[in-house]
Amino acid sequence: MKIEVIENVLKYNKDQADKNRKLFKDSMLLVLNLLSSPGSGKTSLILETLKRLKGKKNIGVIEGDISSTYDAEKIGKLTDNVIQINTGGSCHLNASMIEKAISKLKIKRLDLLIIENVGNLICPSGFDLGEDHKIVMSSVSEGDDKPVKYPPVFIKSDLIILNKIDLLKISDFNQNFFENKVKELNPLSDIIKLSCKTGIGMEEWIEWVLNRCKIRN
Amino acid sequence: MKIEVIENVLKYNKDQADKNRKLFKDSMLLVLNLLSSPGSGKTSLILETLKRLKGKKNIGVIEGDISSTYDAEKIGKLTDNVIQINTGGSCHLNASMIEKAISKLKIKRLDLLIIENVGNLICPSGFDLGEDHKIVMSSVSEGDDKPVKYPPVFIKSDLIILNKIDLLKISDFNQNFFENKVKELNPLSDIIKLSCKTGIGMEEWIEWVLNRCKIRN
């Protein structure tokens, strides 16, 4: 009984994700689904991206949280194109929540939509939102063993971002161990190391995004 | 349909948790359920606790992870009383998993059982394991807004540990903001600030634990 219901939920989610995907494609919109533990720096990355691409790309942001509008308020200082989804306790975003959120964004005018998922390294990776790319962010302060302990999200992501590299100098984080484990799980993934705080590595991230923005006819 | 099944799961879990609780009580065992995001330092706290209470208290550890035996191997260097639960992808421990794990530990000989839950600030707080106390650990590097963004786990915990306070000097973490938000959600909770790395604050934690260990007749 339990398994049957979960399968129905995932099937329903997949159908809605396919509808979202078609809408995103028709709108020439690049959609990134940003996943991480709480406090890895997803919101900081979005804020820095908005600053660096201001005047170059129109960016929309969907903020997912179990409660509060704390992050959306920060983002709202830089753009009007932000929607907060409060999941009411649920540990992940799903495709239906995204459908409702994009109905409130003028997506035909946007080049890029960044979805900040609920801070959770496990559950969100199981739910397709219709995005072009899942991106997982890990941070130096979380330790180098995250790929070993939470494999699914690293397997399913096209890009692995290692944030807070300014802390490497005061940490025993082993970069080779981290990167080797990522590559074992997901040999085709890209890895970008950066610090939202100091700005180091941000150019590589911005270039990664710009290379994937759709060319409009 | 979906809600009904979830209610059944929670009812079944509660029944099993009550059985675990009775067993723990009959065994004069203090049981702590340790919750946090990935990488906050749960394993480091357990390692330091084992070192500091060696020869004073018999401690058992249950390690919860979605996969790997990485943490249990670290703990296993300090004690034989460690059991790894691999949830096979599930985002939290439940009371039945604990029942199976304790059948493999000689709990009548133990004074303290520490359960390291799966690294996840959301889902584990909804599942009673039969423990005496839920403890949530947050860390300076995750930012001061975690109580605002993830209220349930802070509401349900008796102790809030703020780890990595050695990073306060290079961080914009606002201790007053964090503590005020915790107290708004949970006025009766204790707050201990420490660093597993430098050892500062560890005495207060050890004292908190010793004060709660059961007095054997």
pLDDT of residue A137: 98
Mean pLDDT of all residues in chain A? 95
Mean pLDDT of all residues in chain B? 95
Interatomic CA distance for residues A34 and B142, integer angstroms: 17
| Percentage of chain A modeled with pLDDT above 70 | 96
Q: How far is CA A117 from the centre of its chain?
A: 6
Mean pLDDT, residues A50-68: 96
Q: Which residues pair with A78 in a beta bridge?
A: none
pLDDT of residue B48: 98
Q: Tens digit of pLDDT for each residue in A173-187?
A: 999 999 999 999 999
Mean pLDDT, residues A14-25: 97
Mean pLDDT, residues B135-140: 98
Annotate chain B with DSSP letters as a single string: -HHHHHHHHHHHHHHHHHHHHHHHHHTT-EEEEEEESTTSSHHHHHHHHHHHTTTT--EEEEEEESS-SHHHHHHHTT-S-EEEEE-TT-SS--HHHHHHHHTTS-GGG-SEEEEE--S-SSGGGG---S-SEEEEEEEGGG-TTHHHH-HHHHHH-SEEEEE-GGGGGGS---HHHHHHHHHHH-TT-EEEE--TTT-TTHHHHHHHHHHHSPPP-
pLDDT of residue A216: 67
pLDDT of residue B155: 98
| Percentage of chain A modeled with pLDDT above 90 | 91
Q: Are B69 and B48 in contact (CB under 8 A)?
A: no
pLDDT of residue B12: 93
Interatomic CA distance for residues A122 and B90, integer angstroms: 8
Nearest residue on chain A to B170, judged by CA atoms?
Answer: A167
- Assigned token pair, B66: 């979605």
Interatomic CA distance for residues A167 and B167, integer angstroms: 10
Number of C-beta neighbours around residue A34 at 10 A: 26
Q: Please report which confidence band the pLDDT of residue B1 belongs to, taking 50, 70 and 90 as the band edges.
A: very low
Per DSSP bridges, beta strands A190-193 and B30-36 are unpaired
Mean pLDDT, residues B20-36: 97
- Burial (CB count within 10 angstroms: exposed 0-12, middle 13-18, buried 19+), residue B216: exposed
Mean pLDDT, residues B190-202: 98
Residues of B with CB below 8 A from A123's CB? Answer: 91, 120, 122-123
| Residue from A65, A140, A149, A168 to probe the interface with B (highest B Cβ count within 10 Å) | A149
Mean pLDDT, residues A9-38: 96
Of A66, A68, A141, Cβ closest to residue B122: A66
Nearest Cα of chain B lies from the Cα of A39 at a distance, in angstroms, of 4
Q: Which residues pair with B86 in a beta bridge?
A: B65
Residues of A with CB below 8 A from B143's CB? Answer: 39
Mean pLDDT, residues B36-46: 98
In chain A, domain spans: 2-212
If you search the block for the tokens 């239906």, which residue do you land on? A96
| Residue from A65, A75, A120 to probe the interface with B (highest B Cβ count within 10 Å) | A120
> Which CATH class name applies to B2-212?
alpha beta
pLDDT of residue A206: 98
